[in-house]
Amino acid sequence: MPQSNNNSLSETAILSFMNRALQLAQLGAGAVSPNPMVGCVIVHQGTIVGEGWHQRYGDWHAEVNAVNDVADKSILSESEVFVTLEPCSHFGKTPPCADLLVKHRVKKVYICNDDPNPLVAGKGIQKLRNAGIEVVSGILAEKGRELNKRFFTFFEKKRPYIILKWAQSSDRKIALPQYQAIQISNALSRRWTHKLRSEEDAIMVGTRTAQFDNPSLDNRFWTGKSPIRILIDKDLRIADNAKIYSEGQKTICYNLQKEAIEGDILFCKIPPQTDLLSFLIDDLYQKKVQSLIVEGGAYLLNSLIKTSLWDEALVWESSMVLGDGIAAPILEKPVFAQQQVGDNILKNYRANP
Protein backbone atom coordinates (compact mmCIF):
# COMPACT_ATOMS: atom_id res chain seq x y z
CA MET A 1 0.00 0.00 0.00
CA PRO A 2 1.34 3.48 -0.82
CA GLN A 3 2.76 5.26 2.21
CA SER A 4 2.47 8.89 3.31
CA ASN A 5 4.06 10.87 6.10
CA ASN A 6 2.44 11.29 9.50
CA ASN A 7 -0.44 8.90 8.98
CA SER A 8 -3.01 9.49 11.70
CA LEU A 9 -4.66 6.16 10.93
CA SER A 10 -3.19 2.67 11.02
CA GLU A 11 -2.78 0.71 7.79
CA THR A 12 -5.51 -1.67 8.96
CA ALA A 13 -7.91 1.23 9.52
CA ILE A 14 -7.09 2.77 6.14
CA LEU A 15 -7.82 -0.50 4.34
CA SER A 16 -11.01 -1.01 6.35
CA PHE A 17 -12.39 2.43 5.50
CA MET A 18 -11.53 2.01 1.80
CA ASN A 19 -13.20 -1.39 1.74
CA ARG A 20 -16.31 0.28 3.13
CA ALA A 21 -16.16 2.90 0.37
CA LEU A 22 -15.93 0.09 -2.21
CA GLN A 23 -18.98 -1.61 -0.69
CA LEU A 24 -20.94 1.62 -0.98
CA ALA A 25 -19.83 2.15 -4.57
CA GLN A 26 -21.23 -1.26 -5.58
CA LEU A 27 -24.72 -0.06 -4.60
CA GLY A 28 -24.73 2.04 -7.78
CA ALA A 29 -24.42 -1.00 -10.06
CA GLY A 30 -26.68 -0.71 -13.09
CA ALA A 31 -27.81 2.83 -12.30
CA VAL A 32 -24.86 5.16 -12.93
CA SER A 33 -23.47 4.23 -16.37
CA PRO A 34 -21.80 5.85 -18.27
CA ASN A 35 -20.39 7.24 -15.02
CA PRO A 36 -18.28 4.99 -12.80
CA MET A 37 -19.45 3.49 -9.52
CA VAL A 38 -17.99 5.56 -6.70
CA GLY A 39 -18.23 5.34 -2.92
CA CYS A 40 -17.03 7.81 -0.30
CA VAL A 41 -16.43 7.59 3.45
CA ILE A 42 -15.54 10.54 5.69
CA VAL A 43 -13.64 9.78 8.90
CA HIS A 44 -13.10 12.06 11.90
CA GLN A 45 -10.79 10.92 14.71
CA GLY A 46 -11.03 7.30 13.55
CA THR A 47 -14.83 7.22 13.31
CA ILE A 48 -17.01 7.31 10.20
CA VAL A 49 -19.08 10.50 10.26
CA GLY A 50 -20.37 10.51 6.67
CA GLU A 51 -21.03 8.04 3.86
CA GLY A 52 -22.26 8.35 0.30
CA TRP A 53 -22.23 6.79 -3.12
CA HIS A 54 -23.15 7.80 -6.66
CA GLN A 55 -26.73 6.54 -6.76
CA ARG A 56 -27.98 7.40 -10.25
CA TYR A 57 -26.59 8.95 -13.42
CA GLY A 58 -27.17 12.69 -13.36
CA ASP A 59 -27.57 12.81 -9.58
CA TRP A 60 -25.04 13.97 -6.99
CA HIS A 61 -21.70 12.20 -6.85
CA ALA A 62 -20.45 10.14 -3.90
CA GLU A 63 -18.44 12.95 -2.32
CA VAL A 64 -21.43 15.30 -2.26
CA ASN A 65 -23.66 12.67 -0.67
CA ALA A 66 -20.99 11.85 1.93
CA VAL A 67 -20.44 15.52 2.84
CA ASN A 68 -24.20 16.02 3.11
CA ASP A 69 -24.29 13.01 5.47
CA VAL A 70 -21.94 14.74 7.94
CA ALA A 71 -24.09 16.32 10.66
CA ASP A 72 -21.49 18.84 11.86
CA LYS A 73 -19.78 20.39 8.82
CA SER A 74 -17.28 22.21 11.04
CA ILE A 75 -15.35 18.95 11.61
CA LEU A 76 -14.69 18.43 7.87
CA SER A 77 -11.44 20.42 8.06
CA GLU A 78 -10.20 17.85 10.60
CA SER A 79 -11.51 14.85 8.65
CA GLU A 80 -10.05 12.35 6.20
CA VAL A 81 -11.88 11.32 3.04
CA PHE A 82 -11.81 7.87 1.44
CA VAL A 83 -13.05 7.80 -2.15
CA THR A 84 -12.81 4.96 -4.64
CA LEU A 85 -12.00 7.13 -7.67
CA GLU A 86 -10.20 10.43 -8.14
CA PRO A 87 -12.64 13.30 -7.43
CA CYS A 88 -13.81 14.92 -10.65
CA SER A 89 -12.38 18.32 -11.60
CA HIS A 90 -14.79 19.40 -14.33
CA PHE A 91 -18.39 20.55 -14.66
CA GLY A 92 -20.61 17.76 -16.02
CA LYS A 93 -24.11 16.99 -14.80
CA THR A 94 -22.90 18.28 -11.41
CA PRO A 95 -20.12 20.65 -10.18
CA PRO A 96 -16.57 19.33 -9.57
CA CYS A 97 -16.24 17.19 -6.43
CA ALA A 98 -12.60 18.27 -6.01
CA ASP A 99 -13.85 21.84 -5.54
CA LEU A 100 -16.23 20.68 -2.80
CA LEU A 101 -13.42 19.01 -0.85
CA VAL A 102 -11.23 22.09 -1.27
CA LYS A 103 -14.09 24.31 -0.08
CA HIS A 104 -14.34 22.33 3.17
CA ARG A 105 -10.53 22.16 3.53
CA VAL A 106 -10.55 18.44 4.35
CA LYS A 107 -7.40 17.16 6.02
CA LYS A 108 -6.46 14.29 3.69
CA VAL A 109 -7.92 12.31 0.77
CA TYR A 110 -7.28 8.61 0.15
CA ILE A 111 -8.08 7.31 -3.36
CA CYS A 112 -8.27 3.83 -4.94
CA ASN A 113 -7.65 4.79 -8.57
CA ASP A 114 -6.77 7.77 -10.72
CA ASP A 115 -9.56 8.56 -13.19
CA PRO A 116 -8.82 7.39 -16.79
CA ASN A 117 -11.26 9.91 -18.25
CA PRO A 118 -9.16 12.60 -20.02
CA LEU A 119 -11.47 15.26 -18.57
CA VAL A 120 -10.13 14.35 -15.11
CA ALA A 121 -6.95 12.18 -15.43
CA GLY A 122 -4.93 13.63 -12.57
CA LYS A 123 -6.49 17.09 -12.60
CA GLY A 124 -8.65 16.33 -9.57
CA ILE A 125 -5.67 15.15 -7.53
CA GLN A 126 -3.62 18.17 -8.60
CA LYS A 127 -6.42 20.55 -7.61
CA LEU A 128 -6.49 19.02 -4.12
CA ARG A 129 -2.72 19.17 -3.73
CA ASN A 130 -2.60 22.75 -4.97
CA ALA A 131 -4.98 23.60 -2.14
CA GLY A 132 -2.61 22.03 0.38
CA ILE A 133 -4.63 18.84 0.87
CA GLU A 134 -2.55 15.67 1.21
CA VAL A 135 -3.56 12.96 -1.28
CA VAL A 136 -2.65 9.26 -1.10
CA SER A 137 -3.58 7.29 -4.24
CA GLY A 138 -3.46 3.56 -4.96
CA ILE A 139 -5.25 2.22 -1.87
CA LEU A 140 -6.78 -1.18 -2.84
CA ALA A 141 -6.19 -0.20 -6.48
CA GLU A 142 -6.85 -3.71 -7.86
CA LYS A 143 -10.22 -3.88 -6.11
CA GLY A 144 -11.04 -0.44 -7.48
CA ARG A 145 -10.20 -1.50 -11.04
CA GLU A 146 -12.30 -4.65 -10.67
CA LEU A 147 -15.24 -2.58 -9.44
CA ASN A 148 -15.02 -0.22 -12.43
CA LYS A 149 -13.65 -2.65 -15.03
CA ARG A 150 -16.26 -1.44 -17.53
CA PHE A 151 -15.29 2.21 -17.05
CA PHE A 152 -11.55 1.50 -17.34
CA THR A 153 -11.99 -0.72 -20.42
CA PHE A 154 -14.09 1.94 -22.13
CA PHE A 155 -11.42 4.63 -21.77
CA GLU A 156 -8.31 2.48 -22.10
CA LYS A 157 -9.39 0.14 -24.92
CA LYS A 158 -11.93 2.45 -26.57
CA ARG A 159 -14.66 -0.21 -26.56
CA PRO A 160 -17.27 -1.73 -24.22
CA TYR A 161 -16.37 -4.33 -21.61
CA ILE A 162 -17.49 -7.56 -23.31
CA ILE A 163 -18.99 -10.44 -21.31
CA LEU A 164 -19.60 -13.75 -23.09
CA LYS A 165 -22.29 -15.92 -21.53
CA TRP A 166 -23.66 -19.36 -22.29
CA ALA A 167 -24.95 -22.54 -20.64
CA GLN A 168 -23.55 -25.94 -21.58
CA SER A 169 -24.33 -29.55 -20.80
CA SER A 170 -21.82 -31.86 -19.11
CA ASP A 171 -20.83 -33.11 -22.58
CA ARG A 172 -20.23 -29.49 -23.71
CA LYS A 173 -23.27 -28.87 -25.91
CA ILE A 174 -25.21 -25.58 -25.94
CA ALA A 175 -28.20 -26.64 -28.11
CA LEU A 176 -29.80 -29.64 -29.75
CA PRO A 177 -29.09 -30.50 -33.41
CA GLN A 178 -30.37 -27.93 -35.94
CA TYR A 179 -30.03 -25.25 -33.24
CA GLN A 180 -33.15 -26.39 -31.39
CA ALA A 181 -33.26 -24.56 -28.07
CA ILE A 182 -33.30 -26.44 -24.77
CA GLN A 183 -33.22 -25.16 -21.20
CA ILE A 184 -29.86 -26.31 -19.88
CA SER A 185 -29.34 -24.17 -16.78
CA ASN A 186 -31.57 -24.13 -13.68
CA ALA A 187 -34.09 -21.59 -12.38
CA LEU A 188 -31.54 -19.97 -10.05
CA SER A 189 -29.25 -19.28 -13.02
CA ARG A 190 -32.09 -17.58 -14.87
CA ARG A 191 -32.70 -15.20 -11.96
CA TRP A 192 -28.94 -14.55 -11.73
CA THR A 193 -28.87 -13.82 -15.49
CA HIS A 194 -31.59 -11.20 -15.15
CA LYS A 195 -29.66 -9.55 -12.31
CA LEU A 196 -26.67 -9.41 -14.68
CA ARG A 197 -28.85 -7.83 -17.36
CA SER A 198 -29.95 -5.13 -14.92
CA GLU A 199 -26.30 -4.16 -14.31
CA GLU A 200 -24.97 -4.04 -17.89
CA ASP A 201 -25.63 -1.53 -20.66
CA ALA A 202 -26.45 -3.85 -23.56
CA ILE A 203 -27.04 -7.48 -24.54
CA MET A 204 -26.39 -9.00 -27.97
CA VAL A 205 -27.46 -12.03 -30.02
CA GLY A 206 -27.10 -13.07 -33.64
CA THR A 207 -29.68 -14.08 -36.23
CA ARG A 208 -29.83 -17.78 -35.36
CA THR A 209 -30.40 -17.18 -31.65
CA ALA A 210 -33.11 -14.61 -32.40
CA GLN A 211 -34.73 -17.03 -34.83
CA PHE A 212 -34.58 -20.32 -32.91
CA ASP A 213 -34.81 -19.07 -29.30
CA ASN A 214 -37.00 -15.99 -29.92
CA PRO A 215 -35.58 -14.32 -26.76
CA SER A 216 -36.98 -11.19 -25.13
CA LEU A 217 -33.57 -10.14 -23.74
CA ASP A 218 -35.24 -8.09 -21.04
CA ASN A 219 -35.07 -8.08 -17.25
CA ARG A 220 -38.18 -9.78 -15.87
CA PHE A 221 -36.88 -11.62 -12.81
CA TRP A 222 -34.89 -8.89 -11.04
CA THR A 223 -35.29 -5.24 -10.09
CA GLY A 224 -33.82 -2.46 -12.23
CA LYS A 225 -33.59 -1.60 -15.89
CA SER A 226 -33.49 -3.77 -19.00
CA PRO A 227 -30.38 -3.49 -21.20
CA ILE A 228 -30.25 -2.15 -24.75
CA ARG A 229 -30.90 -5.09 -27.09
CA ILE A 230 -28.36 -5.60 -29.88
CA LEU A 231 -29.23 -7.83 -32.83
CA ILE A 232 -26.97 -8.82 -35.70
CA ASP A 233 -29.28 -9.59 -38.62
CA LYS A 234 -27.41 -8.84 -41.83
CA ASP A 235 -30.27 -9.72 -44.21
CA LEU A 236 -33.17 -8.70 -41.93
CA ARG A 237 -34.52 -12.23 -41.63
CA ILE A 238 -36.05 -11.80 -38.17
CA ALA A 239 -39.80 -11.17 -38.27
CA ASP A 240 -41.21 -7.83 -37.10
CA ASN A 241 -43.27 -9.60 -34.41
CA ALA A 242 -40.26 -11.34 -32.81
CA LYS A 243 -39.90 -10.76 -29.07
CA ILE A 244 -36.63 -8.91 -29.57
CA TYR A 245 -38.60 -6.14 -31.30
CA SER A 246 -41.19 -5.75 -28.52
CA GLU A 247 -41.97 -2.16 -27.56
CA GLY A 248 -40.60 -0.32 -24.56
CA GLN A 249 -36.95 -1.34 -24.80
CA LYS A 250 -34.32 0.26 -26.99
CA THR A 251 -33.07 -2.11 -29.68
CA ILE A 252 -30.29 -1.73 -32.27
CA CYS A 253 -30.29 -3.99 -35.33
CA TYR A 254 -27.01 -4.10 -37.27
CA ASN A 255 -27.70 -5.07 -40.87
CA LEU A 256 -26.66 -4.64 -44.51
CA GLN A 257 -30.02 -3.38 -45.78
CA LYS A 258 -31.27 -0.17 -44.19
CA GLU A 259 -30.67 2.77 -41.86
CA ALA A 260 -33.83 3.81 -40.04
CA ILE A 261 -35.50 4.54 -36.72
CA GLU A 262 -38.82 2.78 -36.11
CA GLY A 263 -40.16 3.41 -32.62
CA ASP A 264 -37.66 1.98 -30.14
CA ILE A 265 -35.71 0.23 -32.90
CA LEU A 266 -32.64 1.68 -34.56
CA PHE A 267 -31.65 -0.08 -37.79
CA CYS A 268 -27.95 0.55 -38.26
CA LYS A 269 -26.58 -0.18 -41.74
CA ILE A 270 -23.10 -1.65 -41.88
CA PRO A 271 -20.96 0.00 -44.59
CA PRO A 272 -19.95 -2.29 -47.50
CA GLN A 273 -16.65 -4.15 -47.25
CA THR A 274 -16.48 -3.47 -43.49
CA ASP A 275 -15.58 -5.97 -40.79
CA LEU A 276 -18.91 -6.43 -39.03
CA LEU A 277 -17.68 -7.01 -35.49
CA SER A 278 -15.11 -4.22 -35.58
CA PHE A 279 -17.71 -1.77 -36.89
CA LEU A 280 -20.30 -2.87 -34.34
CA ILE A 281 -17.97 -2.65 -31.34
CA ASP A 282 -16.68 0.76 -32.41
CA ASP A 283 -20.21 2.01 -33.03
CA LEU A 284 -21.27 0.92 -29.53
CA TYR A 285 -18.24 2.78 -28.16
CA GLN A 286 -19.34 5.92 -30.04
CA LYS A 287 -22.81 5.45 -28.53
CA LYS A 288 -21.15 5.37 -25.05
CA VAL A 289 -22.15 1.76 -24.34
CA GLN A 290 -19.70 0.67 -21.66
CA SER A 291 -20.63 -2.98 -21.23
CA LEU A 292 -22.04 -5.69 -23.47
CA ILE A 293 -23.34 -9.18 -22.64
CA VAL A 294 -23.15 -11.60 -25.57
CA GLU A 295 -25.74 -14.40 -25.32
CA GLY A 296 -25.45 -15.46 -28.94
CA GLY A 297 -24.90 -18.89 -30.42
CA ALA A 298 -21.68 -20.77 -31.03
CA TYR A 299 -20.79 -18.89 -34.24
CA LEU A 300 -21.00 -15.40 -32.70
CA LEU A 301 -19.28 -16.45 -29.47
CA ASN A 302 -16.46 -18.20 -31.33
CA SER A 303 -15.99 -15.19 -33.62
CA LEU A 304 -15.45 -12.91 -30.62
CA ILE A 305 -13.09 -15.40 -28.98
CA LYS A 306 -11.09 -15.82 -32.19
CA THR A 307 -10.63 -12.05 -32.58
CA SER A 308 -9.90 -11.56 -28.84
CA LEU A 309 -12.91 -9.26 -28.51
CA TRP A 310 -13.90 -10.35 -25.03
CA ASP A 311 -12.97 -9.60 -21.42
CA GLU A 312 -14.95 -12.06 -19.32
CA ALA A 313 -16.85 -15.31 -19.95
CA LEU A 314 -19.59 -16.64 -17.68
CA VAL A 315 -20.31 -20.31 -18.35
CA TRP A 316 -23.08 -22.25 -16.66
CA GLU A 317 -22.40 -25.99 -16.56
CA SER A 318 -25.21 -28.48 -16.03
CA SER A 319 -25.09 -32.20 -15.24
CA MET A 320 -27.41 -32.74 -18.20
CA VAL A 321 -26.16 -34.92 -21.09
CA LEU A 322 -27.37 -33.94 -24.56
CA GLY A 323 -25.46 -36.30 -26.83
CA ASP A 324 -25.81 -34.89 -30.33
CA GLY A 325 -25.98 -31.14 -30.55
CA ILE A 326 -24.17 -27.86 -31.11
CA ALA A 327 -20.73 -27.80 -29.49
CA ALA A 328 -19.95 -25.14 -26.91
CA PRO A 329 -17.18 -22.60 -27.56
CA ILE A 330 -13.69 -23.43 -26.32
CA LEU A 331 -11.74 -21.03 -24.14
CA GLU A 332 -8.00 -21.58 -23.91
CA LYS A 333 -7.93 -19.96 -20.49
CA PRO A 334 -7.89 -21.32 -16.94
CA VAL A 335 -10.97 -20.89 -14.76
CA PHE A 336 -10.65 -17.58 -12.91
CA ALA A 337 -13.35 -18.39 -10.33
CA GLN A 338 -16.29 -20.74 -9.94
CA GLN A 339 -19.23 -21.36 -7.64
CA GLN A 340 -21.91 -23.99 -7.15
CA VAL A 341 -25.44 -22.70 -7.75
CA GLY A 342 -27.93 -25.45 -7.02
CA ASP A 343 -27.12 -28.32 -9.39
CA ASN A 344 -25.22 -26.01 -11.76
CA ILE A 345 -21.66 -24.68 -11.67
CA LEU A 346 -20.93 -21.11 -12.74
CA LYS A 347 -17.42 -20.72 -14.15
CA ASN A 348 -15.83 -17.33 -14.69
CA TYR A 349 -13.03 -16.90 -17.24
CA ARG A 350 -10.98 -13.77 -17.89
CA ALA A 351 -9.22 -12.86 -21.12
CA ASN A 352 -6.47 -11.18 -19.08
CA PRO A 353 -6.66 -12.52 -15.52
Q: Catalytic site residues?
A: 63
Is there a contact between 93 and 60 (Cβ–Cβ < 8 Å)?
no
Q: CA torsion sign, 215 to 275 to 158 to 302?
A: positive
Q: Spell out the SS3 assignment of the chain.
A: CCCCCCCCCCHHHHHHHHHHHHHHHHCCCCCCCCCCCCEEEEEECCEEEEEEECCCCCCCCHHHHHHHHCCCHHHHHHCEEEEEECCCCCCCCCCCHHHHHHHCCCCEEEEEECCCCCCCCCHHHHHHHHCCCEEEECCCHHHHHHHCHHHHHHHHHCCCEEEEEEEECCCCEEECHHHCCCCCCCHHHHHHHHHHHHHCCEEEEEHHHHHHCCCCCCCCCCCCCCCEEEEECCCCCCCCCCHHHCCCCCEEEEECCCCEEECCEEEEECCCCCCHHHHHHHHHHHCCCCEEEECCCHHHHHHHHHCCCCCEEEEEECCCCCCCCEECCCCCCCCCEEEEECCEEEEEEECCC
| Interatomic CA distance for residues 42 and 234, integer angstroms | 53
> Cα-flanking dihedrals φ and ψ of residue 2, to 5°?
-55, 145
